[in-house]
Amino acid sequence: MKLNYHPETDSLYIDLSEQPSSESKEISEGIVLDYDVDGKLVGIDIDNASNKVELKKLILSRLPGKVETAAA
């Protein structure tokens, strides 16, 4: 899973899978869910993210895998 924030557009993309998106559904204003060809959720796109989610703090708790960070 990857979280990618784009400050120039104030959008946050939560990449849940490496599978490409084949269908998108807007579930709320500025919140789009992306699905693969099998209907599995592969990503979440949040427009105007700074108004919808807390971007200043990220807490990772009990994740079973490796945690990596990358500078912008």
Average pLDDT per 10 consecutive residues for the chain, totaling 72 residues: 94 96 97 98 98 89 84 64
Contact status, residue 14 vs residue 58, Cβ threshold 8 Å: no
> Domain boundaries in the chain?
2-50
Alpha-carbon distance of 57 to 32, in angstroms, equals 22
pLDDT, tens digit, 9 for 90 and up, residues 13-22: 999 999 999 9
Contact status, residue 32 vs residue 24, Cβ threshold 8 Å: yes
Give the SS3 label for residue 20: coil
pTM given for the model: 0.86
The dihedral built from the CA positions of residue 57, 53, 24 and 7, taken in this order, carries a sign that is negative
